[in-house]
Structure 1
């Protein structure tokens, strides 16, 4: 049978022992205050399993490791395995490298049902990822019910069609698209994720990417008589919030409602891709950041926030998406940073250069490229490196219009990313990882029902012949 080396991520401290453990056996849990909250020590003997964890998250991650060791059948929704499972004996000592191990899921461009989001939480937890960044609003849709402003979902939650692929022409599919979450839906997602030690970080994007909100309440765009529609295109809309006092009051109400639902200490406020941005627009995001700070939370904004002469709101975290330089700048200035550069960890970007890749957009980033990614930039001085909280993969869904397409874009690259943010930098051998993935982890994904991209290329039904992309 395979040993620890074949079955577990790298690098994990493993001390093999003689003998095998025939599962099921008793599992004993104990708290070890000398371990970090997410750390654990797993001791497997012929007589049973002992888990020593620094906290409940560590115990949960130890359980995920036991699932890995038991075999792919342990990842199925119901028991189908007959007979015992054989586990190698020994000790596993494990702890994450980063405290922020995240993935953004964009539910604004293409809505994902509550059930699909819950499934995605399960997939994150199985890979020991601990942040789900939920992108709830954009030009193409508003997904958050706000009782004080019902038109946000009555109008802003649906559009009359969608651009087909990525092009500069007028072609649309003519199919209405929409959906939103009630407050109870979101509370359920939060509670479900919390049980799996995943923090849900909600994002309401301001002052750009706001066309859906402006379609619902045109005064937000500065012209109450305007009649804009929820956008049916992809890209960056000219719909930008008017940075007036009434807009600030409107979004204080929106974010106040958000705080009632989401206990996350971090709340996303956007700040990216604002056409014709002014210091008044930056002032709007700063005031919302201050609003969050006054209520004991921290703002998370994209790295365009650094382009303003205005100081950032206290405690604001920067998501460095346009590359690594913004993350370096922010960390040197004393801000905490989450690294999410599009050149490396945008999982909606194409996975191969060949013609079979469905709707090829963005940079070419293979599985191997993702596994080679190093979240701490080389140019960052040692004293600033602790300000890198971790990293986050991004799943923007302009071209991911079903859960099957999300699976295809995310996996197995998200498995590679999960190992990058959990494990120490060295050693990281690509060929060895791909072998482990092929032999042991892809069967786990099969058991979970994940329609990942095969290592040798897409299956026929995973292609999108004739649908244009925009590769970079």
Structure 2
């Protein structure tokens, strides 16, 4: 047997080390696109021995550390250790720096360590989501790995808008606690910050109110559901009772908080009231009888604001809602409220005479003002659909512009804060392909990924007026969405486009670049078991 010389071993080592050193850099493809990304040669190797090291923390940092430590648990066979101490090698070093903007973060990946610095624990969590998207997609499904290479990079990032949300309608069709949690996970992956939870409507009351237990005994179920678009034919199958107990709601709130997501509950008033009126018919102008609605649309049976008991009911409901949800904002609806019943109602007309109102529009404005004042005493702000602008709504109310951008522009110009949710850009119950015969049945319309991405939320406003646009949101109404798999299909990948609209500065966005990154993100959806629409996979890459 030939002897191997010492010189040969040295040469072999040099070759091997040289091969490692020349390992090609990996592309950094993150959604939403960070503000500044500088790629450096080399990479950091994450291993089971890597420590999550909190150099400077905060009281609410633990959920972020838990997320990071468990992300690779299935792949490594163990969670990463979380420790506290000075900056270390082979560590993810975390610094919470309150001198930075609350949502801003710096992420530096070097040969010996990963350093994360954020203005808050939430910002650190956003850095972790960026780091996550730099890992192989196999991490998401627990593929066994000895180590994970992460490209050396410097990222400086912060969101364009603080409110980045998606609404889930659980009234028309219900989704379980576990499905709602998965929805929250989807928001977190895209660095979205708000879950707007639509909890009451004509077709179902979905939140337990202890003062009014009949709401979920009666209002949470309908006798049957119309087939198709109000065809006059029904399925003959009772739907419900479906609702969330307060304990389940607390569980979901905590789950969202652990992902630094705020939940905004929506309690519809004074319209979209049939589930409540079926329970308490004395709260309507005619006294009923009413039933939980079996069709879709806008209906003339609405709450009676001329009846003082109606305000007692709203206040009793909102007392419990305000106590349950720790966020500052409660959505009160305010949309699509026909006023014909008020014109014929003696109590409403008496209220109008007493308050010296000219028309029924002023009665709705009175309702909104009174509810806003009540919630203000509880430290809450109201958010309402853009119909609230039809009256002299206060400047402290937040306007949600859904009928295009017009309401948002009007609200911003008069000094109200605005969330842009224009239906022609951000209604995710609309078809996402014009070949509708090959799509799941939907309400209509057409909003594809490119259309979502083209939204400029501050268009039509001066720079100063544009500051009143605090956010953007997508809405998923569920008249025709009967399963959570269908819901995911309607949300993804349009949610990725919305996330980048909300996060990345307008001048830094470019659709073909986004498209390349979005295609890669769909691989992560697949690894996570998410159902998603695949239309963008057929679109040409920008470099082809």
TM-score (normalizing by structure 2): 0.80
In 2, the alpha carbon distance for the partners of 1:247 and 1:230 equals 18
Counterpart in the other structure of 1:365: 447
Counterpart in the other structure of 1:351: 432
* Length, aligned pairs only: 450
In 1, the alpha carbon distance for the partners of 2:385 and 2:121 equals 31
Higher relative contact order (CA 8 A, sep 6+): 1
Is it true that 1:63 corresponds to 2:128 in the alignment?
A: yes
Counterpart in the other structure of 1:6: 29
Q: Deviations over 1:375-415 (max 9, x none)?
A: 11x21122211111010110111111110110011001011
Task: Name the SS of the counterpart of 1:177 in structure 2.
Answer: coil
Cα deviation for residue 98 of structure 1 reads 0.3
Matches within 5 A, 1:177-216: 177-178=239-240, 179-216=242-279
In 2, the alpha carbon distance for the partners of 1:94 and 1:177 equals 46
Mark the CA change 1:314 to 1:252 in structure 2 (over 3 Å): closer, same or farther. Answer: farther
Cα deviation for residue 323 of structure 1 reads 1.2
In 2, the alpha carbon distance for the partners of 1:444 and 1:406 equals 18
Cα deviation for residue 83 of structure 1 reads 2.9
Cα deviation for residue 99 of structure 1 reads 0.5
Counterpart in the other structure of 2:100: 35
**Contact in 1 for aligned 2:30/2:130 (Cα 8 Å):** no
Q: Deviations over 1:10-61 (max 9, x none)?
A: 2431122221212234100012334211111111111110111111001111
Mark the CA change 1:407 to 1:145 in structure 2 (over 3 Å): closer, same or farther. Answer: same
Is it true that 1:447 corresponds to 2:527 in the alignment?
A: yes
**Contact in 1 for aligned 2:412/2:469 (Cα 8 Å):** yes
**Contact in 2 for aligned 1:340/1:392 (Cα 8 Å):** yes
Matches within 5 A, 1:23-422: 23-24=46-47, 25=50, 26-76=91-141, 79-167=142-230, 169-178=231-240, 179-224=242-287, 226-243=288-305, 244-276=307-339, 278=360, 279-308=362-391, 311-313=392-394, 315-354=396-435, 355-376=437-458, 378-422=459-503
In 2, the alpha carbon distance for the partners of 1:325 and 1:7 equals 32
In 1, the alpha carbon distance for the partners of 2:503 and 2:537 equals 27
Deviation >6 Å, runs of 4+: none
Task: Name the SS of the counterpart of 1:432 in structure 2.
Answer: helix
Aligned Cα RMSD in Å? 1.7
In 2, the alpha carbon distance for the partners of 1:267 and 1:33 equals 28
Mark the CA change 1:293 to 1:449 in structure 2 (over 3 Å): closer, same or farther. Answer: same
In 1, the alpha carbon distance for the partners of 2:25 and 2:502 equals 25
In 1, the alpha carbon distance for the partners of 2:255 and 2:29 equals 31
In 1, the alpha carbon distance for the partners of 2:278 and 2:440 equals 31
Is it true that 1:20 corresponds to 2:46 in the alignment?
A: no
Tell me which structure has the larger Cα radius of gyration: 2
Task: Name the SS of the counterpart of 2:165 in structure 1.
Answer: strand
Mark the CA change 1:353 to 1:2 in structure 2 (over 3 Å): closer, same or farther. Answer: farther
**Contact in 2 for aligned 1:40/1:59 (Cα 8 Å):** yes
In 2, the alpha carbon distance for the partners of 1:427 and 1:285 equals 39
Counterpart in the other structure of 1:464: none
Q: Which runs of 5+ in 1 are unaligned?
A: 459-472
Per mean C-alpha deviation after superposition, the further-off stretch among 239-248 and 420-429 is 420-429
Mark the CA change 1:247 to 1:314 in structure 2 (over 3 Å): closer, same or farther. Answer: farther
Q: Which runs of 5+ in 2 are unaligned?
A: 1-23, 51-90, 341-359, 539-544
Q: Deviations over 1:119-177 (max 9, x none)?
A: 1111101110000000000000000111111111111001111122224x211122221
Cα deviation for residue 275 of structure 1 reads 1.2
**Contact in 1 for aligned 2:34/2:158 (Cα 8 Å):** no
Task: Name the SS of the counterpart of 1:36 in structure 2.
Answer: coil
Cα deviation for residue 7 of structure 1 reads 4.3
Cα deviation for residue 342 of structure 1 reads 0.5
**Contact in 2 for aligned 1:290/1:313 (Cα 8 Å):** no
TM-score (normalizing by structure 1): 0.92
Cα deviation for residue 453 of structure 1 reads 1.0
In 1, the alpha carbon distance for the partners of 2:158 and 2:104 equals 4
Cα deviation for residue 313 of structure 1 reads 4.2
In 1, the alpha carbon distance for the partners of 2:414 and 2:114 equals 47
**Contact in 2 for aligned 1:38/1:54 (Cα 8 Å):** yes
